[in-house]
Structure 1
């Protein structure tokens, strides 16, 4: 096959009018042959890049024939590039494929199936970049499109299988985002369709049906509804036995999937929730954890002291060591999630926001997988990682995704604070303050004001017990309240929290490394302008001076 490709490459170079189209077909055939071999994906993505260029040239003169081929090449290039971990690059190709398929589908209804495939692919790439809200939109559109196609052609088994597959993708993504109740009906719908397909064509789509069953059981387990999962586990067990007899490779696949989803396979072939025996840490494991912890601590310390490049290298070392440990001991996945979260914090400090989102999204994913097994250990880390992810997404302008992550973070922090207020109430206040900003970013100003009022109330409660603590958080909460009151037109209430924040800052400077003085300066600057505009000239000068002093500190 490679010789054929090389032959027609030379012919097409010499005589493109005669041979370029045949060269494109040979490239498609070569890529189809390589797709089953992950070790060949680097070569495949290079060939797909060449194929995109070739089909684009052909489409310039024969649009009706070659634009669909260009769309297909872009979709395949996005998928393989994503598998290689180059998600941002893959998203660009996937977005081009979707736009091209949309144009084609307006003129030719037969292109709707390709559009649905491209939408699902784009959704997957966005999800891997932490842009979950956008990913869900595309996955839902793919499901809706395939549902319409399946309704028009109910006898088409391939369309039915594609719809069921899209439903599973959507259900899994909803579950990964913590929307477990929403995931249940989607996964049940997929299972019903897989059962119907198997009844019509026995032994068809059984492995996909098995994945759908296992995904539903995982969502039920997350909701503590294990009794409802039992019949689905029994059905998955029966499918496993049938598939294991006919497909030797399926056994290895099952083992990996069960471990990932929190289930185990008994010697009798039954699929049951995994309840691992307590594992006593060996001296080696303890030393390894201690080394990882020291690397993380040193990275964060270096970052806070301004040695960002050194901190980044140290954080990468912690992640590499944690990843190696997690491959050998699955319980080390929690240490890997913590290291990834710390890496995201350091990357954010280095201005690498896109990389920070990727690291944080992986940390969130690992936390979700470990939550059932170790909820008390994982829930605080998941809440923190979601808060960091929310802030990073907002800085990249992905405000809807940032809001979703922020809301989930607050829900988790609220659970923790209800159980142990002394340990978690201040963290809840900080997370709520961030959520208030996310709500404002998405024009939910009344909800943002309600949140700001709650944050101030929490800080007043905390400071009543400990007057010398929580200064920075309280100042931010007061200034944020002033901003929210101004935004909803409650003009007569803006002055009081603003001046309380300024007076508190004058009494107890500086705020310290967690004070985020740059953003506070921006808030004070805007509030000073607002107060001047509304006739509070003396107070406006005071607030503006505070903003200038904060800027002087941050610039050195």
Structure 2
């Protein structure tokens, strides 16, 4: 079957895409006066034919002349032939410009209480790990599968393991649409199920426990629970090391992915873990590089993400040339991947460009850093307009860096504009998810205050510095080990702003006293130590990661 004429072997091929054929298909989809010839074709289509049929029909339905009737007919066609067409819909949704009828069909199936759980589970398993287009479909299907498996109340080991795995996938999907608390709840429940199964049958379920622990670690890190995140990924890495000894072919890649996550969590937790973090990232790069030589398609993305983490850690260690080399290689890989699968990898390309810009800026290559950031911001703006949940925070991170680069190049107006936009985005995000973004808001306000002071806007600088200090006070109450040194730096900045005001503010003594008390509490650390703490925190805010790496 072919909806385009001339597709048989040995026959002159027609124009592809064929606008006339698409127009005819659109007319057939909305014509109520006669049976649509597309319907019987759908019932007999094989996999490739189903993809071809849906591609043509989806393109036809996107034409304004046939809206909304053609799209509605296509959605119903998918549901009437769910076993055949919905798997094809998942495969092509990221390849067509306007996949709305296909996404609507997936959503309606997920919300149908009579939908077959085996089909729902199959579709959930087919979804790509990295996707913008299918992100909400992943949540809908995940919720549907989990609800049905729970309702079945099957206590057998296989059914419980299937429930835990579906909840792991649901947790990752929820994180991808900006629901970190719900994601963490799903992962926590999956961990409990999998631990229980592992206690009964370690050999049968240990690898599943490691996979869920790895995802759980990433989610804990997203909500700022760094110590717990490190514990979870350390346990996952330990398990994968055991499994690699028994079956290196199956588990070597998963060990490398776990090492990548381990490096990130160690870097985020504290400066004292930097050497261990770099060692983990280096080991991940080595494993993925060796695997990519044998099977590039399976391992090249893991190599790119691990190179990004290693680049950031090399930058932390002051090894800027090596950091730039690793970051540049990562960007080159992601650029190739984004050309092949833009839905999956364009956002990650922008993240890598953002990270490379940080390294270039630290090395004094300011023009190159600015060029990389302009590209990153452009990509993030485009993606945020289409898929805001996952891309708006990334846009804020790129703008945060862009403000610094503009300032370095002596463009204060541009720097201030980018800084204000970053603050506005983080303010909105922190209102929705304070556990994730409040620290980012505090740090971006800190930088904004410095820019405002440099532009001789002292009153506005004081307002920004005061809010930054207030935020860090709240955070230090919740996590003193991480945020008390940063609060000290925020207070130091506030004191500088207040001393520079005319007349000098009478709040200076109170701020100085609070700063001295924190310094004494931290054991008499000097101002340089405070600045190193701030540099670490701001570097973490400036750097973003692809991921989580699939396990």
TM-score by length of 1: 0.48
Look at both structures and tell me which one has the larger radius of gyration over its CA atoms: 1
Indicate the structure whose relative CO is greater, using CA pairs within 8 Å and at least 6 residues apart. 2
TM-score by length of 2: 0.49
